Amino acid sequence: MKKLIFSVLVACTLLAIESCSDNDNPAPAKTFVLVHGAWQAPYAWQFVKSQLEQKGQKVVVVELPGHGSDMTPPVTLTIDAYRDKVVTAINSITGNVVLVGHSLGGMVITATAEKIPDRIDKLVYIGAFLPANGQSLLALASTDSTSQLGTALVPSADQLTLGLKPDRVVPVFIADGSDAVKKLVVDNYRPEPAIPFTNPVSITPANFGRVNKYYIYTTQDQAVGLPLQKRMVAAAGIKNTVTLNSSHCPFLSIPDQVTNALLTMAN
């Protein structure tokens, strides 16, 4: 009788351990590919990248040509050049990815999804430009009556780059950031290649149209106004959205909220 009771107790214990083990296992890791926006570079994703990796996810941050430490001449740059950099990054990864784009990066991930739709599990826009077929960033931005970006622009003499008035960088991009984050943005600022702003993006229902899409609204955005964000989302028929009470760069001002939103969308 004692042996029988002991055997039952052991069996129950093993079942309990197995059950707990199954419940404690995290969901399979996703691979996030993060694409920065204009006047920024991979540094902008550092906090979200770290948090995603701490949660067991894989993260690849793309440096667009002509940004960060990349010195590609702006005269050679186009949206297609940006797209090809992202395609190359994804092609070096095993399995499908969650492709995330911010601001200008929204144009880039749209073009990427059209090129390699079968490699993208989810497409996530954060305060990003989201074009319809044949639209350029400039065409979309010209309809944005609430943005403060236009009055802050300073074109170069050769029209190949667009700078920003120094006193407008923080108000337009990161008004809600800490002093350290504001300094980070200012210290990493460099003029933006201008040609890609004018390049239209071509998309089709057969490719871009079949990729799962998500949008993260940034309600205090002074670069891509919330009304424009909502119009673009409606035009694209996106139903899955998250709203963050943030400036244009929530991955710097409230990275934990961005990380949580990305994990929720990815799963």
Q: Is 201 helix (H, G, I), strand (E, B) or coil?
A: strand
Instruction: Please report the pLDDT score of residue 28 as a whole number.
Output: 72
Q: Is 32 helix (H, G, I), strand (E, B) or coil?
A: strand
Instruction: Please report the pLDDT score of residue 45 as a whole number.
Output: 99
Give the number of other Cβ atoms within 10 Å of residue 257's Cβ: 17
Grouped pLDDT means (10 residues each) for the chain, 267 residues:
42 41 57 98 98 98 98 98 98 97 99 98 98 98 97 98 98 98 98 98 98 98 98 98 98 98 97
Q: Is 158 helix (H, G, I), strand (E, B) or coil?
A: coil
**CA–CA distance from 112 to each of 81, 119, 153, 220 (Å)?**
11, 10, 27, 28
First to last CA, the chain: 49
CA gap 167, 170 in Å, rounded = 7
Give the number of other Cβ atoms within 10 Å of residue 35's Cβ: 30
Domains, in order of start, for the chain: 27-266 (3.40.50.1820)
For residues 119 and 88, the answer to whether their CB atoms sit within 8 Å is no
213 phi/psi in degrees, rounded to 5 = -120, 145
> Listing from the earlier edge strand, what are the strands of the sheet with 153-155?
153-155, 161-164, 192-193
- The distance of Cα 187 from the centroid of its chain, to the nearest Å, equals 21
Instruction: Please report the pLDDT score of residue 7 as a whole number.
Output: 44
